[in-house]
Structure 1
Amino acid sequence: MKSRARIGGWGTAVLITGALAATLLGSGRIGHATEASDGSAWLWSRTASEVARVNPDNGQVERRRKVTDARGHRVRLSQNDQNLLIHDLETGRVSSLNLSGLGLSGRLNVGARGDTHLAMGATAAAVIERTSGTVRALDPATLRPVGTPLQLPGPLVGGEFDDDGRLWVAVPQQGTVAALKISAQGAAVARTDEVAEPGRDLALSVLDQGALVLDRGGRDLVVATGDGTRRITAPVPLAGAMVPERTHGALAAVTVPAAGSVVTLGDVEKGGPVLSFPLADPVQEPVVPFAGKVYVPVRETGQVRVYDPAGRQTGALSMPAGRGDLELQVREGNLFINAPGSADAQVVGTDGRARKVGKYPNGQGKGGDRPVAPGGGENSPPLIPAPPVEPVFPDLPVLPPSREEPEEPETPSEPSTPGTTPSPPGRTGPTPKPPRKSVPPVPEMPSARPTTSAPGTKSPTPPRSTTPRPPSTSRPPSTPRPPSTSKPPTSKPPTPKPPKPTPKPTPNPYTPAQVCNASSGGNYYVQRSVGFSGGRVYQLYSNSTKKNCAVTMKTGANVGKGTNVWVRLQEKKGGEVGYDGGTFKYYAGPVFVNASGICVRISGGGSGASVSTGWANCG
């Protein structure tokens, strides 16, 4: 789990915190494609600062919309048939774009602190402050909060809609998964299911009907649907496992870098075959299942390898300009592969055929018209004020007190090479697992049908009761007892609680030589390295390629979590520089320079710490 400071109060967590420019459209997670009923999708272009609607049948851009004040920012997009939500992860600003006329219809500022996530289904939208556990319904058009917010025990994991309109989140503190109903009345718990012991490290991917939950402290995979839960044992330990936030179709896939494996689940909602195959390349993002195949993004080479569920490679898609910057999303029966920092994108149909997309007017394909001029001024929608009333929470039992981490200060941006825009400091690593406690459950609606399990699997725990307890009434005064003559009992001093065990840090599943060898020839060996708080920078050389390689490997609590990390390699004679930086889970790089017989130096860092060396290895 991610260790973050809790955000005090709904107003500071997700409501308007400042004025916005009238021409703002906002942004969202890099490369996120968004769905529409006609199969088209919107893609984000970071360097051009625009969103573009792509026709999957021919790969052409049909419409464009300029996004002001978002150039170089990380962007996450969400869409239904009427609206496109644009969430700027750098600033926390959110805008709603009316898709019928491409006009701006609503604005909201959720802030850049914490872990705020926006989700939108066919008819509903919600903002989830995953750190504090607050969920609130939004009007997708105006972005105004509606109804009363729901308070769950934070932190939460996940937060996407399934095809039945249920919003699924995991509650690691309770070891449960919850299906939420989002309506004009607000957010409410529809049902909960136990999936793990309280305090476990969970990951979640929302299915077409239900959710897949991973216990990253063991091997349990749990499929939760409206009928109950089904437990499956993975063939490898799931430490550090990754899944896409949303899984479309019957095939699910789990990426386990620590085990160097991909686990596939065929017909996931019915407990189909469970298979695994080894990863041929180091990966930092989850693989994506689509149309019966598994697509593995390899950011070092800009390739996407295609496998069947058993691990036989059936193809490879190449996007060299997308090296280090690939995002995959399944939308409306198509797979969209986007490189937000370049003009390149591809769309893959269910037949496996890939079509190139020209996101810019002068790129591949015809590219469509020039971007639509941004709206604003007097026609810009007003800012949304904070609701005047306090949020109303469900009748939950009081949770045991827990120690909270202090709110982390903002850290300055890392140094960058001219022409590059490194990502802002990332978030902190996983929260130490607490000792097992009996945690009160989240209230839920009773299930319509009894919980069932597949033959040969563990029986699921029955759903918890959701009947609210009646309010307590005052007791009548009792008759005073006569004074007792017996000896009062002697109270025992409280037994001190043992200290919490120090969590074992997650090891980095990759080595510097593995990372460098996967990208440029082979036979790279480490020449020197230097460490900093949270990582170590390595310099390597290959006698075969006559190149130097540099990579920053993450260490400690941030391994497996998306945080800011960077690496820089420079040769002395001609000044050739290699640089890579951004929000990565395991490492930054590799970067290469031709420096046979030339002195080189390395530097790197992340999340506020950095280190550098002098000139060396000149022979």
Structure 2
Amino acid sequence: MKGRGTRAATARTRVGGWAAAVLVTLALLATLLGGGRIGHATAASDGRAWLWSRTAGEVARVNPDDGRVERRREVTDARGHRVRVTQNDRHLLIHDLDTGRVSSLDLAGLGFSGRLDVGTRGDPHLVMAGTAAAVIERTSGEVRAVDPATLRPVGPVLRLPGPLAGGEFDGAGLLWVAVPRQGTVVAVKVTGEGAAVARTAEVAEPGRDLVLTVLDQGALVVDRGGRDLVVATGDGTRRITAPVPLAGAMVPERTHGPLAAVTVPAAGAVVTLGDVRQGGPVLSFPLREPVQEPAVPFAGKVYVPVRETGQVRVYEPAGRQSGVLSMPAGRGDLELQVREGNLFVNAPGSADAQVVGPDGRARTVGKYPHGPDRSGDGPAPPRSGWDGPPPVAAPPLDSIFPDPPDLLPPREDGGAPDERDETPADAASPEPVAPGRPEPERPAPGGSVPSGGSAPSAPDRPGTRPSDTESPSRRPTPEPTTSKPKPKPKPPPPARNPYTPEQVCNASSTGGYKVQRSSPFKGGRIYQLYSAKSRNNCAVTMKTADVGKGTNVWIRLEEQRGGEVARDSGTFKYYAGPVYVNAPGVCVRYSGGAAGASTSAGWANCG
């Protein structure tokens, strides 16, 4: 795994490139698309949700009352891609994670009204409320308000100290993010004037490893370095102690309703808060098998997706299992979202989806026009009478269009704002500070600290500079002082994989598996295990880099007689597999990898 120093340097390099690229793209969109909206849609909330089908390369609108697909829309050049869909009742934002392209779909006429390219570096995240939308670059800490219809820029960039955690709107229209570097949670107001900090609250010591889920009002912050759960609202903060250590904890990006759930793979448990705003009751129950996605609370119950089996286990908050949703074709590929009083369970790589109502009743959804396709060959071509319009190309982009001058900070030397000097990637630059929290003391030239203790708070408009009329030579030189600068908060330690190969292999079988051999590669390690009880071999690819972040991971296990071959691949946060081969007295070999790196081992373990 890369060291923090390397990751920090990479993040600094990405900040400039990402910000410049997005600003260029956004500025172009403002010119190409103009300020008007294209089309109008009814604002009524109907409970319907748009689901992505990767094999078909289309989005489909599902009626939760009967599970029927009412409308479909093909997305040009997105078939086979990972796509994240963000919606309100007027627009659909389609973020292609493989290309970095974002398209805005007007739901009145199902035509594309805007396009934006956020790239594939860093961690760009699209969020949208009723009338507001924003792009959050969580690696750099930049928040940019955009028009939901045209995706053109709105106001200046808001710069927070990255990296950020979380990022969704609550029911009051506030965008909440956590700033681990400062140990704070920040509420951002996004309007037609841009994005601005509305509130900042301290929730942990600076440098703690934080994750965040946004509530109906406020946010729940999880300190993964201890047992603290902090509820932050406009009225203040409330601290709650979890019954288990929270190392490696996972939460959904958005929590609807009073019940909250925190999934803790390292502790093999799910922590529930019966009334999150009142602080309890706080309970926990054990996980039956390893999971790679957070549990999602809905209608008083907890839904735990198990990607390895294609199942969603349903629990009461105290841990009693009350049901199971089975989607075998969705193995390794399950997405859960709560939308206007319903829970949608989607397997983007298959025809399978289900919608669960508040009564707990599940309805099967046939996402393809000709019905569910169980053969794995994908959807059939559209037939006559298909209710989706033909693909409409989105507006083109010109990557060399310059930034608008009114969005650029003035130069200290009085030059034109678009005549900026290139800053070397390794040059030191001040880190932004969230408004409402004092900026840490910084050494002045020569190693001293300016008199007066700490520097002033961040300006109202991030990115502004001192007045051009003030000559640098006339600025007072700070007096030397004997006080020492405060050390910068330590960055959170690299995420460690909370699972072991024994846990993974033994959870899905009769047990008794022990490691026989392993092979490392950049970003992970492959393990082969054997069970004398079942006489089966097991193989699993365990991630050691990008742990907790969905990346492409694969594993393959083969026996020498040319018979059984087991394989698994997909977007996983912790591991690929387990895969099993029954080969008593026969040699086996394996191969696998993650994120472009791989390794393999020859025939062995022949007993």
TM-score by length of 2: 0.79
Aligned residue in 2 for 1:609: 597
What is the CA–CA distance in structure 1 between the aligned matches of 2:280 and 2:489, rounded to whole Å?
Answer: 40
Give the 5 Å matches for 1:185-334.
185-334=193-342
What is the CA–CA distance in structure 2 between the aligned matches of 1:284 and 1:74, rounded to whole Å?
Answer: 17
Aligned residue in 2 for 1:388: 404
Cα distance change on mapping 1:440 and 1:569 into 2, 3 Å: closer
C-alpha RMSD of the superposition? 3.7
**Residue 370 (structure 1) aligned with residue 386 (structure 2):** yes
**Residue 96 (structure 1) aligned with residue 88 (structure 2):** no
**Residues 104, 375 of structure 1: 8 Å contact kept:** no
Aligned residue in 2 for 1:16: 25
What is the CA–CA distance in structure 1 between the aligned matches of 2:480 and 2:604, rounded to whole Å?
Answer: 73
Cα distance change on mapping 1:370 and 1:543 into 2, 3 Å: farther
2:435 is aligned, of 431, 443, 447, to 443
**Residues 83, 96 of structure 1: 8 Å contact kept:** yes
Give per-residue Cα distances to partners, 1:218-266, cap 9 Å, x unaligned: 1111111111111111111111111000000000000111111111111
One-letter identity of the residue aligned with 2:208: R
Aligned residue in 2 for 1:76: 84
**Residues 237, 259 of structure 1: 8 Å contact kept:** yes
Residues paired across the two proteins, number: 532
Gaps of 5+ in 1: 21-34, 395-403, 408-438, 446-463, 479-488
1:106 is aligned, of 90, 114, 120, to 114
Q: Which has the higher contact order (CA 8 A, sep 6+)?
A: 1
Aligned residue in 2 for 1:121: 129
What is the CA–CA distance in structure 2 between the aligned matches of 1:371 and 1:616, rounded to whole Å?
Answer: 55
Give per-residue Cα distances to partners, 1:389-424, cap 9 Å, x unaligned: 264689xxxxxxxxx9989xxxxxxxxxxxxxxxxx
Question: 1:565: how far off?
Answer: 2.7
One-letter identity of the residue aligned with 1:584: F
One-letter identity of the residue aligned with 1:16: T
Question: 1:610: how far off?
Answer: 2.1
Question: 1:586: how far off?
Answer: 1.7
**Residues 284, 585 of structure 1: 8 Å contact kept:** yes
**Residues 75, 391 of structure 2: 8 Å contact kept:** no
What is the CA–CA distance in structure 2 between the aligned matches of 1:37 and 1:14, rounded to whole Å?
Answer: 33
Deviates more, 1:603-612 or 1:211-220: 603-612
Deviates more, 1:225-234 or 1:523-532: 523-532
* Identity rate, percent: 72
Question: 1:608: how far off?
Answer: 4.0
What is the CA–CA distance in structure 1 between the aligned matches of 2:328 and 2:102, rounded to whole Å?
Answer: 31
SS in 1 for 2:324: strand
Cα distance change on mapping 1:580 and 1:14 into 2, 3 Å: farther
Give the 5 Å matches for 1:418-567.
442-444=434-436, 506-555=495-544, 558-567=546-555
What is the CA–CA distance in structure 2 between the aligned matches of 1:17 and 1:138, rounded to whole Å?
Answer: 8
Aligned residue in 1 for 2:571: 583
What is the CA–CA distance in structure 1 between the aligned matches of 2:480 and 2:85, rounded to whole Å?
Answer: 64
**Residues 168, 253 of structure 2: 8 Å contact kept:** yes
**Residues 161, 432 of structure 2: 8 Å contact kept:** no
Aligned residue in 1 for 2:11: 5
SS in 2 for 1:8: helix
SS in 2 for 1:514: helix
**Residues 305, 317 of structure 1: 8 Å contact kept:** yes
What is the CA–CA distance in structure 2 between the aligned matches of 1:547 and 1:18, rounded to whole Å?
Answer: 59
What is the CA–CA distance in structure 2 between the aligned matches of 1:496 and 1:143, rounded to whole Å?
Answer: 42
SS in 1 for 2:20: helix
Give per-residue Cα distances to partners, 1:190-211, cap 9 Å, x unaligned: 1111111111111010000111
SS in 2 for 1:71: coil
Question: 1:468: how far off?
Answer: 6.5
Cα distance change on mapping 1:562 and 1:205 into 2, 3 Å: same
One-letter identity of the residue aligned with 2:168: E
What is the CA–CA distance in structure 2 between the aligned matches of 1:80 and 1:490, rounded to whole Å?
Answer: 56
Cα distance change on mapping 1:506 and 1:465 into 2, 3 Å: closer
Gaps of 5+ in 2: 30-42, 374-378, 411-423, 438-455
**Residues 110, 389 of structure 2: 8 Å contact kept:** no
One-letter identity of the residue aligned with 1:614: G
**Residues 181, 491 of structure 2: 8 Å contact kept:** no
What is the CA–CA distance in structure 1 between the aligned matches of 2:326 and 2:208, rounded to whole Å?
Answer: 38
Cα distance change on mapping 1:444 and 1:376 into 2, 3 Å: same
**Residues 104, 114 of structure 2: 8 Å contact kept:** yes
Question: 1:495: how far off?
Answer: 9.2
What is the CA–CA distance in structure 2 between the aligned matches of 1:140 and 1:561, rounded to whole Å?
Answer: 27
